[in-house]
Amino acid sequence: MSDTSSGKVIQPGGTIGILGGGQLGRMLTLAGRNMGYRFVTLDPTEDAPCGQVADQIQANFDDVEAARRLAARSDVITYEFENVDAHVTNILMEESYVPQGSHLLYTTQHRLREKRAIEAAGVPVAPYAEITSEAELREAAERFGTPCVLKTATGGYDGKGQWVLRSLDEVAEAYETLSRAKTELVLEQFIHFDKELSVIAARSPRGEVKAFPAAENIHVHNILHESIVPARIPVPVQKAAEELAIRIAESLGVIGLIAVELFLTKDGGLYVNELAPRPHNSGHYTMEACRTSQFEQHVRAICNLPLGSTELITPVVMVNLLGEHIAPLHDHLAEPGFLENEQLGVSAKLHLYGKKEAKEKRKMGHINLLTDDVEKALTWIEQTGIWESK
C-alpha cells in the first residue's frame, strides 16, 4: 500500500475484501488474482460463487462482528450489490478503506435520490413523481397517461418491485400491492423507447475516467437476455451515451464502476433509467471483447492504478444462461462446432458461476459470442435452441 498526491494506491499483493459472494464477486476475484491481489468475501451462503475462488467469511450481511473481521483482513473493501446495510457500511469505513464510500450507495439505493442526482448532473430522466397516497398515484397517472410504471423507491431488481399501470382501473390495486413494501413509491412516465442501452464507466481516486462501448440490451421477462456490442445504433448516439455515463461518474464522484442504463427513443433522445455502482450483467461482454474487462477495470479503479484501455477488439453478443437453460446447454457442450462454429464464424466463451441449484430464471452463467458480425452471433443463439423457452 502506498500514498500519492492523487490518493492511496493498493499495490498487488494486498487483500481486497468483497461484501457479497455472488457471481460478480467471483469474476472480480478471478480478474484480480491475475494481477496478484488476494481476496476475502463476506456472504451468508455456504460455498458461495465468490467463496469458491476467494477466502470466505460465512455470515449475514448485517453481522457487525463479521464485518469487523472482513475489515481487519482487507487493505481495501468493495461491494458487489447495492443493498448493503448502512450500519455495516459505516463500520467498514471506520475500520478499513472503502474508496467507493457510502454516499454513492446512499444515492443509488433509493430511486428518488438517484433520479435527483442524475438530474443534478444535467442528464435527463423520464418524468417522475413521488407517490405517498392512492390519490397522488391517480393524479400522476392521469397526468402522465397510461401505460406508466409504479416502482418501490428501494429494493427490487429484474422487474421486482414494479407495476406497469395499463389503465387507471389498476391504480387502487397497484398502490395497495406496492405500498406493502413500506417504502416510498415513485411513478415514472412510460418512455416509448426504440432500444435499451447501457454504458459502464470507471473512475479512480486520481480522477481518471473511462467508459466502455455502449451495449444494446434485450430483456425477456424483465431479465437481461442479450447484450449486443457494438450496439446497432448510429455512432454519434453511441458516443453521446458514453459521454452521459462519464458525466454521471464525474458528477457523483464515483470510485470504481458505475453502470448507466438508458432508453433510446426513435427521435434519438437518451433518458437514464437506472444506475448500478458496481460491475454489471450488461458489462460481461468486456471479458473477452475488450482490451480490459470491467472486472479488471474495477480492481484498477479501487486500487488507484491507471485505468486500462476500454477499446473493443471484436464484435460480441453476451447471452445469459438462466436455470432453465443449463440442461439444454449440457446437451450441446460436447457437440463439435458448438463452442467453435467455423461455418458461422462464431467463437463461444462459456462462463458458469458455480451455483449449486439451477432454479428457473436464476442467473447461472453467460456466454460471450465473439464474431466479426453480431448478426452471426444472433443466428448462433437462435440455431442452438437453448433459449427457445425463454
User: Is 284 annotated in some ligand binding site?
Assistant: no
Q: Is 273 annotated as a binding residue?
A: yes
Q: Is 232 annotated as a binding residue?
A: no
| 56 is annotated as contributing to ligand binding | no
Say whether 157 counts as a known binding-site residue: yes
Residue 188 is assigned to a ligand binding site: yes
Instruction: Using DSSP bridges, classify how beta strands 185-189 and 148-152 pair: parallel, antiparallel or unpaired.
Output: antiparallel
As a whole number of angstroms, the distance between CA 39 and CA 50 comes to 9
Q: Which residues, in sequence order, are CB contacts of 343 under 8 Å at separation 6+?
A: 337
CA atoms of 50 and 21, how far apart (whole Å):
5
* Annotated binding residue 162: yes
Is residue 297 a known part of a binding site?
Answer: no
Helix (H, G, I), strand (E, B) or coil at 245: helix
Amino acid at 225: H
Q: Can you list the pairs that 112-117 forms with residues at least 24 positions away whose Cβ atoms lie under 8 Å?
A: 112/153, 112/184, 112/186, 114/274, 114/275, 115/186, 117/251, 117/252
Cell numbers given for 172: 387502487
* 191 labelled binding-site residue: yes
11 annotated ligand binder:
no
- 250 annotated ligand-binding residue: no
Q: Is 294 annotated as a binding residue?
A: no
161 annotated as ligand-binding: yes
C-alpha cell at 364: 447461472
CA distance 335 to 282: 28
DSSP-derived 3-state class of residue 121 = coil
Q: Per the annotation, where are the binding residues?
A: 111, 151, 156-162, 188-191, 196, 219, 273-274
Q: Per the annotation, where are the binding residues for ATP?
A: 111, 151, 156-162, 188-191, 196, 219, 273-274
